[in-house]
Amino acid sequence: MTANVAGYLLQLLAGRWLGVTGYSEFASLLAVQLLCAVPALALQNVVARELVRGAGAAALRGLQWRCALIVAVVAAVLVPLVSLTLNVGVAATAAALGAAPALVLLSGEQGVLQGTKRFRALGVVLGAAGIARVAPALVVLALSGGAALALWAAAGGIAAAALLARMVAGSPSKRIRAGIEAGADAAATGVLPVLLAAQVQAALMALQSADLIVVRIVLDDVDASRYALGTIATKIAFWLPQAVGVVLYPRMAQPTQSAGAIRAALAVLSGIGLVAVLGAALAAPLAPLLAGEDYAPIQGLLWLFALHGALLAVLQGAVLSAIAVDRTSLALVTWLGLAVEVTLMLSLARSVPALITTAVSVAAATTLLVAVIVLRAADSTTRPEPLRPVG
């Protein structure tokens, strides 16, 4: 909650201080940064899963550094391409992408804490990381430093948070360090499991962020900034129930408990999403007061932005179960949803209402299909074998 509130505060104040002509660049680069954080999220899930299975923490930390190096190389290659595609500054783009390796190291340590079920320490790291990322950026923006300097300040805060996480995680207990077999370390230290989990996370995060990138192409700066501010409601509804997945993830990884854990997760996520949508509808009149009158035209659409985030939160709960049981081919459905969304937006949508309606429609269809697939798969996994006659 602390990290989420800090993130929302950054977006809200950036929208006011940068104005409707400058905020879309900042928001679009934050969306790109989120996409680059996909390997970090995948690494956290893999580290937590493999620690539960008995892998050694030292080997998994070696995996962290290999993944961070790969991400750094890819980010460097992407800087000019992203800058040209989004028509944003090279310095700002480098700052947004430059944070990706630090995010990988931070998430790796969070995976150590999650896998060893040290949830109190994990909470401390999550909250501290949110503050460390946001506070320097807010100071720069308050001093009129601009989007590029703010993004560099945020990157520095993430690096400091990664160092703090390593100190908090320390060395796990002797039982965890030892592992169950030498073979467990070998299986855990490969990059392939992270890549398989990353493509699942990438599909979800791309579906969440694609609209922010497309609006830079199809809308003018003013409407793009208004849309970007509306996505704060999307982010609130999406990130609010993250603890649900953290708590239920170990149960999802156990075949005998997977179906029940998935149903519980989807039910809780749906309930929280409904509350978020109602809250957005009731709080809509406050949007112009908080962000400025320039954003008044979108206040009636905030409930739709929140619905988008709520649907994606349910989708995340479903795809998280796929990572827990190594059923990563399920991401193909989400990739298909992403392709449909981008195609419809680029070809048909030319206004804020049309764009958010398209995003909500595609998210609803994708979430329903994925949820049905994972529930049926979980039921087939937990169904007992039929009795066979002894002959």
The total number of residues written for the chain in this structure: 391
* Of residues 21 and 341, more confidently modeled: 341
Each residue's pLDDT tens digit, 143-159? 988 888 999 999 999 99
Candidate from 4-13, 304-313, 314-323, 364-373 with smallest mean pLDDT: 4-13
What integer is the mean pLDDT of 243-270? 81
Amino acid letter, 209: S
Please say if the pLDDT value at position 343 is more than 70: yes
* Statement: residue 176 has pLDDT above 50: no
Shortest CA distance to 124 belongs to which of 1, 250, 8, 247?
A: 1
**Contact of 306 with 234, CB cutoff 8 Å:** yes
Rg (CA), the chain: 21
pLDDT, tens digit, 9 for 90 and up, residues 64-100:
999 999 999 999 999 999 888 888 889 889 999 999 9
Distance separating alpha carbons of residues 299 and 374, to the nearest angstrom: 36
Q: What is the pLDDT of residue 132?
A: 93
pLDDT exceeds 90 at position 249: no
Looking only at Cα atoms, what is the longest distance across the chain?
82
* Per-residue exposure over 131-143, b if at least 16 CB sit within 10 Å of its own CB, e if not: bbbbbbbbebbee
pLDDT at residue 291, as a whole number: 63
- Whether the pLDDT of residue 338 is over 80: the answer is yes
What's this model's pTM, rounded to 2 decimal places? Answer: 0.73
**Residues 157 and 34: beta-carbon distance below 8 Å:** no
Beta strands in the chain (DSSP E): none
Phi, psi of 369 (to 5 degrees): -65, -45
Q: Which residues of 225-237 are buried (b: 16+ CB within 10 A; e: fewer)?
A: bbbbbbbbbbbbb
Q: What percent of the chain has pLDDT over 70?
A: 89
Quick one: which of 335, 98, 17, 371 has its CA closest to 207? 335
